[in-house]
Homo-oligomer: A and B are copies of this chain.
Amino acid sequence: MLATVLHKPGDIRCEEVAEPKILRPTDAIIKLSASCICGSDLWPYRGLQPVDAPQHMGHEYCGLVVEVGAEVRTIRPGQFVVGSFCLSDNSCPHCRFGFQSSCEQREFMSGAQAPYARVALADGTLVATSEVPPAELVPDLLAVSDVLGTGWYAADAAEVRQGSTVVVVGDGAVGLMGVLAAKEMGAERIIAMSRHASRQQLAREFGATDIVAERGEDGVSRIKELTGGVGAGSVLECVGTAESFDQALACSRPGGTIGYVGVPHGVSFDGQRLFFGQKRMLGGPAPVRRFLPDLMDRVLQSRIKPGKVFDLRLPLAEVTEGYRAMDERRAIKVMLEV
C-alpha cells in the first residue's frame, strides 16, 4: 500500500510500504476512513526532533475494523472505531485513574497516514460507535482522536469550569480545539491569542469572546486589561516553546491553573519563579481515552463540529504539500484522504 514515510527532516514521501499485520493477539487492523497531519509531526519534519531512521508517520485515526487478534474481546470486525494516539490497556491503575496516556503498557501510535493501520491494545484503546456513522461526520470523529482530545485535556487540566475566565495561548489546531472545549465546559470569557485573521475567525466560531493579537509583554498587558488587572484563572498552553510558556505564566492569576499540552521543546522552569508566581500546572500527553466516549457522543449528536479545524484536504499522494502547507502556516490542519 502507499503510505507516508519521513526519511529525514524536510523529506516526507508517499511510498509503497508493507500492509500492517496482526503482530500480537491484542492487536486490531483498521481500514482508515481518513487521516491527518498533526502539529507534532512538524517537530521531526523541521529537524527539531531527531530522525534516526525512516519513520512511518501519523497517529490520528478512525475507521473500520477489518481484523482482530485472538485475544481481542470487545472490538469486532465491521465496527467503526476511534482511538487515541496513546495506546493503552485501559485497565492498569494509571488508566483507571484517568491517565491512560501514562498506561503501564503505553505505546504511541504510528503509521496512521496510510489506508490501513495496526492498533495495539485494541480492547483498551478503541471505542466503537453503535452504527457506522455518516461520511460527513468522519472529519469530526477523526479530530476527536488527538487534536480535540488534546485541546479538551488542556481545558480539563486548566480546570475550566462554568463561568471561568480562560486564556488560550496558541492558535494552532490544538489551541482552537481548546477554545471549543472551554466553551463546552461553560467558560464565560475565552480569550484567544492569535495574530492570523483566519484563525481568529475560527476561534470566534468555536466560542472565543476576545482576541488578543499582541504577544510578549504587550500580550500580557492586554490580558491584564481584559481581566481587571487580575489575570486568567485558567490558561491553556498549546504551543510548547519557552515564549509560549512565558506567556502562559504571565497571563494566569496567582492560584490560577495552566494546562499545557504543547510538548515542551527547549523549555525549563526556574523553581523560584514558579514558586512565587503560585501557578498550578498540569500537562502531558493527553489521556484522550478518558474523554473519547463523551466527545464521540457530542459529535454524533452534532453538538460540536471540531472537524472545521481541517481547512485543507488532500489525497494521501499529496502529503508532501500537506506538510509544507502546515509548516508554512498556510493551513491550520490538513486532512488526508486515504
Contacts and interface: CB of A to CB of B under 8 A. Distances in A.
Interface of A: 93-94, 97-99, 101-102, 157, 228-230, 240, 245, 253-255, 260, 263-272, 274-285, 287
A276 B283 CA distance: 8
B253 A97 contact: yes
Contact of A280 (B275, B278, B282): B282
Given A264-B271, A268-B270, 9 more contacts: A93-B228, A97-B254, A99-B253, A102-B278, A264-B275, A269-B271, A274-B283, A275-B284, A281-B282
Contacts of A280: 157, 280-282
Given A254-B99, A254-B102, A281 B285 contact: no
Nearest to A277: B284
Contacts of A263: 272, 275
12 contacts: A94-B230, A94-B255, A240-B271, A255-B287, A264-B271, A264-B272, A265-B271, A267-B272, A269-B269, A269-B271, A275-B284, A276-B284
A331 to B, nearest CB: 26
Contacts of A99: 253-255, 278
Contacts of A157: 280
Contacts of A267: 270-272
Given A268-B269, A271-B245, A272-B263, A98 B283 contact: no
Contacts of A281: 274, 280-282
A277 B282 CA distance: 10
B284 A93 contact: no
Contacts of A264: 271-272, 274-275
